[in-house]
Chains A and B, each alone.
Chain A
Amino acid sequence: MQASRLPRYVDICVIPILNLLTALFVAGIIIAIIGENPFTALSVMLKGAFVYKGGLGYTLFYTTNFIFTGLAVAVAFHAMLFNIGGEGQAAMGGLGIGLVALSLGGILPVLVVIALAILGSALFGAIWGFIPGYLQAKRGSHIVITTIMFNFIASAIMVWLLAGMLMAPNQMSPETISFQNGVMLWQFHDILNRLGFDIGRSPLNLSFVLALICCFLVWLLIWRTHLGYRIRATGFSPKASTYAGYKPETIIIITMAISGALAGMMAVNEILGVQHRVILNFTSGYGFTGIAVALMGRNHPLGIIFASLLFGALFQGGAELDFEFQTITRDMVVMIQGLIILFSGALAYMFNPMLEKLFLNEERLKEPNND
């Protein structure tokens, strides 16, 4: 943790924007090198993400995924834990939904099944975060390594189950049978259609609202509750936490479980909102994108909403690139994501010395005779 002497607004706004622009600038150079016009590409992406019919819906649909995984990473970050296990936790969350929906669908009322399925996703994700948390707290295993390993283990479990026990009969691809009719979250275009508006089809569903609620709850948890206070104290200084009597081990385990639960709920959007059955690899890297989102959003729910929107637009706009260009595909988005993680994560402080010179000199001019 580097203590910054910069004004708060520089820390919160100027630096993230500067980092983002650097990443986009480098991406632009690469696009130019492979012989395309970066500005055309940008405009195609923006149109695809916001202008075309249904584009905004898709953008917000992806945004929902990133809010969940971004919040998961951010909550863990507050306890100075690096949860790279979002992929695995989300996959397990999907399994949780599937098990609830397939076993209780038709037995309990639909709304109850939906509610239980959402809880199931949170619970399964929480378990997949709890175990690495427990191993870190009680056995000293490095959480980064354990969560990476748990991603692979989760992926193997999913393959094993979806190509085995849970595989739908008479089906070639590894996926479950569809959930009972009605076990799903409503999609916005349906709702608005019934109210007489036509916004174009998109998978955007009520999970978006759930994501926003989670943002508020995370904000409340971190900055307005005893537990949040303890999480932050433990993250900044485990010794101070011990001194105060908070038991860092317990805090680590609880935080990882919360983090896992949030990542697990990403599956609500994909599985309950769109697929209505459990499929393989539905997480498609969103768990990793959550790291970029949390870094850009400075681990604050508000920042995460904006960062998720940015990545949502990138993903949706990136899909548009496939149609418009021969040489640029959505892999471009993966690359941009890598650049953003590099510049707003690993190189987050690259501009600090420069900015400090700029801003602190200015301040010195303001108060003469400082010496």
Chain B
Amino acid sequence: MKKKILEQKNGGQKSPFAVSLKSICKSFGPVRANDEICLNVSSGTIHGIIGENGAGKSTLMSILYGFYQPDSGDIQVDGKAAIFKQPSDAIRLGIGMVHQHFMLVPNFTALENIILGSEGKMGLKNGLQNAKLKLEELKSTYGLEVDLDNVTEDLPVGIQQRIEILKALYRGARVLILDEPTGVLTPQETDQLFEILLALKSEGVTILLITHKLHEIMAITDEVSVMRQGKMVANTLTKKTSPEWLAEQMVGRSVLVNTKYESGKVGSVALSADGIGVTDKRGFDSLKNATFDLRSGEILGIAGIAGNGQSELLSVLSGITPPSRGNFRINDKIFDSKNHCSPGLMRELGLSHVPEDRHAEGLVLPFQAFESVILGYEKNPSFGTGFFTKPEQIQAHCARLQDSFDVRPQNPTLISSQFSGGNQQKLVLSREISSAPKILLVGQPTRGVDIGAIEFIHKTLIKMRDSGCAILLVSVELEEILSLSDRILVMNSGEIMGIVSKANTTKAMLGKMMAGIPLEKAIEEKN
């Protein structure tokens, strides 16, 4: 490449690369999170970094931000070697980061959060006043509308993200790293974010956008790098590539995620929800008037951006929280706000639940596998007698499940946290399926799961459906919903936007509904 040669010849001249990483390695215990990573980011561009969960993107960015120190390798900023011992070193060289989980103190005002760490003098008052002036300027330059005196925890996520961006700019960031910034945003907020990013780019700010969403890469980046299992596998200009090619690079072979499965043989209604609503502790209606039927032999996919009422729906149907309004019916039993429902009772009625968060809910991480694999089922008579449990019998049960679900390593006494994501998910799935449920609630079945396990899990779900099980599938991965579901229910702000059969819908239409446009309107707009 010409540019590279130029750079080497004229060491004194400004480098075309805002940031260069050379042969970065980083291990966490036995896990190689980053393996010989090289990356050049051209100044003034938006550079995308894409990869599956666990590919090492966040680790790499944390290294660039000085949060972690690499085991080996070099970092250059504007062509000059840099050593980052802590984030302040990176900040000094103009690198700013917007973390996936915001680094904001909840009960501080936006202003306090922004100046935290670069307040200026000992006394606070002057620092706050000076900062305000500077921030007003930044706000108008980049269209970052934020009320600086509001307490952060009361603000919507989109605004909190702007506070994070302002925080970085306030410290003079010329390189801005955004780690999965759209995961928590609505489509509208995402659009607004992208406008801000373009404004930043036009002012000469270099942007590193980390994501696992292909369409975002295609929509906004100039260049893209692909990471897979801790290695950098591709670097290219965005316009020279296609989503399909990127996807193949991400997983290392042609992608099967988009496999379309045949529709199932739909039977009678297994579960029917009638006007379910949930009001949370703060008095916020997180689920509104959910009415639908779930039939045996079908997969009903619940599509929507995370945090739009899907979790609450799962929580109600699995018996964890009673509905505040409305009711739902399984067989002849009706459950509402007064009528006692509990996870135990639901299990007795043949309803199983693969929870969204397998680390916090699905498994007890410090438990040995055989203990985790009876969570919620410990009273099953085949696991003991009376009040007592029989570990030998449970271990044998666990070994059988591990064998039939190909869980590796096949060791019932291994601590649950020491299995990989995919194997953990298989453990949970095996537990919930081993009770031969008539209804199966599944939340985010393939989040953070490797591609081999994804296929296995998808096939298992289809097999369950074909054997007549009624499956409710909640996933934020639209591809997954489209691939597995017979019918698709879209949620936004706790409301059902519509239910469509897979055959009669397109990704575009689902996207509109996810953004809050009800089905009827979405159809009108289309015509």
Q: Are A233 and B389 in contact (CB under 8 A)?
A: no
With both beta carbons as reference points, the residue of chain A lying nearest to B417 in the complex is identified as: A3
Distance of A356 Cα from B101 Cα, bound (Å): 31
| CB pair B378 A243 closer than 8 Å | no
A229 interface neighbour in B360, B361, B363, B378, Cβ under 8 Å: B378
Contact of A233 (CB < 8 Å), options: B29, B357, B375: B375
- The verdict on A227 contacting chain B, using a C-beta distance below 8 Å, is yes
Given contacts A237-B360, A240-B360, A244-B376, contact A3 B415 (CB under 8 A): yes
Inter-chain contact B364/A245, CB cutoff 8 Å? no
Q: Does A242 interact with chain B (Cβ within 8 Å)?
A: yes
Indicate the member of B353, B364, B387, B415 with the most A CB atoms within 10 Å.
Answer: B364
Which of B184-192, B365-373, B475-483 lines the interface with chain A?
Answer: B365-373
Kindly report which residue of chain A lies nearest to residue B356, judged by CB atoms: A243
**Any chain A CB within 8 A of the CB of B512?**
no
Using a CB–CB distance below 8 Å, which chain B residues touch chain A?
29, 318-320, 342-344, 347, 353, 355, 357, 360-367, 371, 374-376, 378-379, 384, 387-389, 391, 415, 417-418
Interface residues as binary, A225-241 with B (CB distance below 8 Å gives 1, 0 otherwise):
11101101100110110
- The answer to whether A233 and B343 have CB atoms under 8 Å apart is no
CB pair B364–A236 under 8 Å, yes or no, is yes
- In the complex, A1 Cα to B347 Cα: how many Å? 30
Q: Max chain A CB contacts within 10 Å: which of B342, B361, B363? A: B361
Partner of A226, one of B319, B387, B415: B387
A5 CB within 8 Å of chain B: yes
Q: Give the chain A neighbours of B355 by CB distance below 8 A.
A: 243
* A233 in contact with B379 (CB, 8 Å): no
Contacts of B353 in A (CB 8 A): 243
Complex Cα distance, B355 from A294, in Å, reads 34
Confirm or deny: A138 has a beta carbon within 8 angstroms of a beta carbon on chain B: no
Among A227, A239, A245, point to the contact of B360 (Cβ < 8 A).
Answer: A239
Chain B CB within 10 Å — which of A3, A225, A229 has the most? A229
Partner of A236, one of B29, B342, B366: B366
A227 / chain B contacts, CB cutoff of 8 Å: 387
The 7 closest A-B pairs by CB, nearest first: A245-B343, A244-B376, A243-B361, A239-B360, A245-B344, A236-B364, A236-B366
State the CA gap A239–B388 with chains docked (Å): 24
With CB as the reference atom, state the residue of chain B lying closest to A220. B388
A95 to chain B, nearest CB (A): 31
Known: A229-B389, A245-B320. A240 touches B344 (CB 8 A): no
Contact A240:B415 (CB < 8 A) given known A245-B344, A245-B376: no
CB neighbours of A229 from chain B (8 A): 371, 374, 378, 389
Q: Whole-angstrom distance between the alpha carbons of A233 and B364 in the complex?
A: 6
Q: Which of A3, A236, A242, A245 has the most CB of B within 10 A?
A: A245
Q: Give me 18 other A-B pairs in contact (C-beta within 8 A), A1-B366, A232-B367, A245-B319 excluded.
A: A3-B417, A224-B388, A225-B388, A226-B378, A227-B387, A229-B378, A233-B367, A236-B365, A237-B365, A239-B361, A240-B360, A243-B343, A243-B355, A243-B362, A243-B376, A244-B375, A245-B342, A245-B347
Shortest beta-carbon distance from A113 to chain B in Å:
30
Give, as a whole number of angstroms, the nearest-CB distance from B280 to chain A.
15
Main SS of chain A's interface residues? helix
Which A-chain residue is minimally distant from B29 (CB atoms)? Answer: A5
Contact of B363 among A1, A224, A240 (CB under 8 A): A240
Indicate whether A240 sits within 8 Å of B364 (C-beta atoms), given known contacts A3-B415, A224-B389, A245-B319: yes
For residue A106, give the distance in angstroms from its CB to the closest CB of chain B.
38
The DSSP consensus for interface residues of chain B is loop
Shortest distance between the CB of A220 and any CB in chain B (Å): 8
* Cross-chain contact A239 with B357 (CB below 8 angstroms): yes
In the bound assembly, the distance between CA atoms of A244 and B375 in angstroms comes to: 6
Contacts of B371 in A (CB 8 A): 229, 232
What are 9 residue pairs bridging A and B, where the CB atoms are less than 8 Å apart in the complex? A1-B366, A226-B389, A233-B364, A237-B361, A239-B357, A240-B361, A243-B320, A243-B343, A243-B376
- Residues 282 to 305 of chain A near chain B (Cβ within 8 Å): none
Partner of A237, one of B344, B364, B387: B364
- What A residues does B365 contact at CB under 8 A? 3, 236-237
Q: How far is the CB of A168 from chain B (nearest CB, A)?
A: 44
Q: How far is the CB of B33 from the nearest CB of chain A, in Å? A: 15
- Inter-chain CA distance A236–B363, complex, in Å, is 10
Q: Which residues of A contact B29 (CB under 8 A)?
A: 5
Q: Shortest beta-carbon distance, A335 to chain B, in Å?
A: 34
- Knowing A239-B357, A243-B376, A244-B375, the reply to whether A3 touches B362 (Cβ < 8 A) is no
Residues of B within 8 A of A242 (CB): 320, 361
**Chain A's nearest CB lies how many Å from the CB of B244?**
33
Within the assembled complex, what's the spacing in Å between the Cα atoms of A236 and B387?
Answer: 21
Chain B residues near A233 (CB-CB < 8 A)? 364, 367, 375
Q: Are A3 and B366 in contact (CB under 8 A)?
A: yes
The CA-CA distance from A5 to B360 in the complex, in Å, is: 21
In the complex, which residue of chain A has the Cβ closest to the Cβ of B355?
Answer: A243
**Residues in chain B near residue A245, CB distance under 8 A:** 319-320, 342-344, 347, 376
Closest to A241 in B: B364
Closest-by-CB residue of B relative to A356 is B29
Docked pose: A236 CA to B379 CA in angstroms: 19
Q: Give Cα A243–Cα B355 distance, bound, in whole angstroms.
A: 8
Complex-state Cα separation, A323 to B169, whole angstroms: 72
- Which residues of A lie under 8 Å from residue B384 when comparing CB positions? 226
Q: Would you give the shortest CB distance from B2 to chain A, in whole angstroms?
A: 37
- Establish whether residues B367 and A236, one from each chain, have CB atoms under 8 Å apart when the complex forms: yes
| Complex Cα spacing A232 to B365, Å | 11
With CB as the reference atom, state the residue of chain B lying closest to A4.
B415
- Give the distance to chain A from B345, nearest Cβ to Cβ, in Å: 8
A242 nearest CB neighbor, chain B only: B320
A242 vs B318: C-alpha distance in the bound complex, in angstroms?
11
A100 to B286, CA, bound (A): 54
**Bound Cα distance A220, B390 (Å):** 11
The contact string, 1 if C-beta is below 8 Å from chain B, for chain A 141-165, is 0000000000000000000000000
CA distance A5 to B418 in the complex (A): 10
Q: Please name all residues of chain A whose beta carbon is closer than 8 Å to the beta carbon of B367 when the two chains form the complex.
A: 232-233, 236
Residues of A contacting B379 in the complex (Cβ-Cβ under 8 angstroms)? 226
Q: Which of A188-241 contact B (CB under 8 A)?
A: 220, 223-227, 229-230, 232-233, 236-237, 239-240
Give Cα distance in the complex from A225 to B384, angstroms.
Answer: 9
